[in-house]
Amino acid sequence: MPKSKKIAQQVNLSDPQYYLNRELSWLEFNRRVLHEACDERTPLLERLKFLAIFGSNLDEFFMVRVAALKQQVEAKVSLLTPDGRTPQQQLDDISLSLRPVVTQQHHQFEQVLKPKLASHGIHILDYIQLTQKQRSYLDNYFNEQIFPVLTPLAVDPSHPFPYISNLSLNLAVVIKNPETEEEFFARVKVPKVLPRFLPLPPELGIHHDGEPANWTGVPLEQAIAHNLESLFPGMTIQEYHSFRITRDADLALEEDEADDLLLAIEQELRKRRFGGSSVRLEIQSQTPESVRSRLVQDLELAESDVYEVDGLLGLRDLMYFMALPLSELKDEPWQSVVHPRLQRIKEATVEPGVSGVEDGRDFFSVIRERDLLVHHPYQSFSTSVVRFITHAAHDPGVLAIKMTLYRTSGDSPIVNALIAAAENGKQVSVLVELKARFDEENNIYWARRLERVGVHVVYGLVGLKTHSKIVMVVRREHDRIMRYVHIGTGNYNPKTARLYTDFGLFSCREELGADVTDVFNFLTGYSRQKSYRQLLVAPVNMRDRFLALIHREIDNAQNKLSGRIVAKMNSLVDPQIIATLYEASRAGVQIDLIVRGVCCLRPGLKDISENIRIISIVGRFLEHSRIFYFHNNGEEEIYIGSADWMRRNLDRRVEVITPVQEPDIAKDLQEVLGIMMADNRQAWELQADGSYIQRHPGEDCPESHSQKILMSMALGSNSIA
What residues are labeled active site?
A: 467
Contact indicator for 558, 501 with CB cutoff of 8 Å:
no
DSSP of 460-484: --TT-EE---EEEEEEEETTEEEEE
Q: Are 499 and 377 in contact (CB under 8 A)?
A: yes
Name the helix (H) or strand (E) containing 222.
helix 220-225
Compute how many other C-beta atoms are within 10 angstroms of the C-beta atom of residue 45: 22
Q: Residues 264, 268, 269, CA angle at the centre, nearest 5°? A: 115
Query: What count of other Cβ atoms lies within 10 Å of the Cβ of residue 715?
Result: 12
How far is Cα 211 from Cα 202, in angstroms, rounded to an integer? 9
Sign of the torsion angle spanned by Cα atoms 627, 630, 634, 636: negative
CB neighbours of residue 718 within 10 Å: 16
From the list 507, 511, 467, 473, the residue with the least C-alpha distance to 489 is 467
The answer to whether 140 and 233 are in contact (CB under 8 A) is no
Q: Where are the alpha helices (DSSP H) in 280-396?
A: 289-298, 363-369, 387-394
- β-pair partners for 473: 401, 484
Query: Which uninterrupted H or E stretch holds 286?
Result: none
Query: Side chain identity at 158, as an amino acid letter?
Result: S
> Count of alpha carbons within 13 Å of 344, Cβ hemisphere only?
11
Residues 184, 168: Cα–Cα separation, whole Å: 22
Specify the DSSP class assigned to residue 65: I
Identify the three-state secondary structure at position 379: strand
